[in-house]
Amino acid sequence: MNIKNAIFALFLSIPFNLPAQQNELQKAPNAEYIIPFLLTGYNNLSVKGVLNGTDTVALMFHTAAGSMTLTEEAVKRLSSVTFDELTHGVKSWGGQSNDSRMSKGNALKIGEETWEDLPIWENTNTGQGTDGKFGLGLFENRVVEIDFEAQKITVREALPDGIENYEKLAMVFENDNLFVEAACEVEGQIFRNKFLIHSGYSGAILLDDDFVKENAIDGKLEVIGEKELKDSYGNVLVTKKVTLPTVRIGEQELINVPAGYFQGAIGRQKMSVIGGDVLKRFNIIIDGQRQFVYLKPNRFKNDAYSNI
């Protein structure tokens, strides 16, 4: 077996006990606006913004985050962000209890749009090449379209023309997280599960502990490598790397998809994840009520998977 260690940041969840930010924001005023992004080599969406009219930052758009964060390293060079409070006992994906500083009353400008009274939390990691992250909390009750081919996010009041060309799938929206059902083929058997839509995870698929244990996944697929994953606060866990022969999301089928899982029933990984290496293969529309996601395959659909 060839074992490859690759350390990269996995931002599986903004800490669950951070206060919700939506009610504290003044939403950007326009009915429709476009946010350009750079699709990085790590399958993350990097967006340029300006904080408080002073500091230029690169932020990762994170579909599994409700709040905005900045890394400790980025904060060192920023002059306009002042931290007012310290939150104790923040639980991160790595299972540790962490302290997180919070800054109130910030303004974030992206393109021609500005959000006022924005709280920002500090943590350790974000997508490679970015200073922090923001999520769907900025776009409450708005339709969000992610066009990976044009590298732009379009925010609007209603579903766009041409929506009939997309496949409509039901979602579950819980604690700022979006879930969709997908099916994995293992030894000719089809196993269905709920997956978190997670643009902050660079890889393709991550399987939760219960799913792996209940379906004996670790005994059915050859382990072809290992990866070390870090959460937002730097906690490290090691995953086993396998290949799923088929993954189906609605009517869309993907072949020989890389997947990871944690060896043994450690009980820490509660959610299965669809990451950036799968998401980038579709143009995606998320409805304003967070009830449905619309998918359309794009020109990346059959590209080779990233070795990250």
- Are 143 and 155 contacting, i.e. CB atoms less than 8 angstroms apart? yes
Among the listed ranges 24-33, 119-128, 200-209, 222-231, which one has the minimum average pLDDT value? 24-33
Is it true that domain 13-156 has CATH number 3.60.40.10?
no
- Cα gap 75→285, rounded to integer Å: 32
- pLDDT over threshold 50, residue 16: no
Can you give the pLDDT at residue 228?
76
- pLDDT over threshold 80, residue 239: yes
pLDDT in tens, 111-136: 889 999 999 999 888 889 999 999 99
- pLDDT over threshold 70, residue 106: yes
User: What are the backbone angles phi and psi of residue 187, rounded to the nearest 5°?
Assistant: 50, 45
- Cα gap 139→241, rounded to integer Å: 35
pLDDT tier at 303, thresholds 50, 70, 90: very high
Beta-bridge partners for 34: 154
Measured CA to CA in angstroms, residue 139 lies from 33, 192, 230, 250, 304 at distances of 11, 30, 27, 25, 32
- pLDDT over threshold 90, residue 162: yes
Can you give the pLDDT at residue 4?
39
What class has domain 163-297? mainly beta
- Cα gap 266→228, rounded to integer Å: 15
Structure tokens, 183: 């099916």
Measured CA to CA in angstroms, residue 7 lies from 25, 122, 226 at distances of 35, 21, 10
pLDDT tier at 13, thresholds 50, 70, 90: very low
Q: Which of 177-208 are b and which e, b meaning 16 or more Cβ less than 10 Å from the residue's Cβ?
A: bbbbebbbbbeeeebebebbbbbbbbbbbbbb
pLDDT in tens, 274-301: 999 999 999 999 999 999 999 999 999 9
For 122-172, the DSSP string reads EES--STT-SEEE-GGGGTT-EEEEETTTTEEEEESSPPTTGGGSEEEE-E
Choose among 48, 34, 20, 13: nearest CA to 125: 13
Share of the chain above pLDDT 70, in %: 82
- Cα gap 243→145, rounded to integer Å: 30
Question: CB under 8 Å to 200, separation ≥6 — which residues?
Answer: 10, 11, 12, 44, 60, 62, 63, 64, 65, 127, 133, 275, 276
| Predicted structure pTM score | 0.86
Can you give the pLDDT at residue 11?
42
Measured CA to CA in angstroms, residue 164 lies from 253, 274, 285 at distances of 19, 24, 12
- pLDDT over threshold 80, residue 15: no
- What is the domain partition of the chain in residue ranges? 13-156, 163-297
Share of the chain above pLDDT 90, in %: 67
Q: Does 163-297 match 13-156 at the fold level?
A: yes
* Residue 27 per-residue DSSP state: -
Scanning the structure block, which residue is given the tokens 């399987």?
207
* Residue 305 per-residue DSSP state: P
Can you give the pLDDT at residue 284?
98
pLDDT tier at 5, thresholds 50, 70, 90: very low
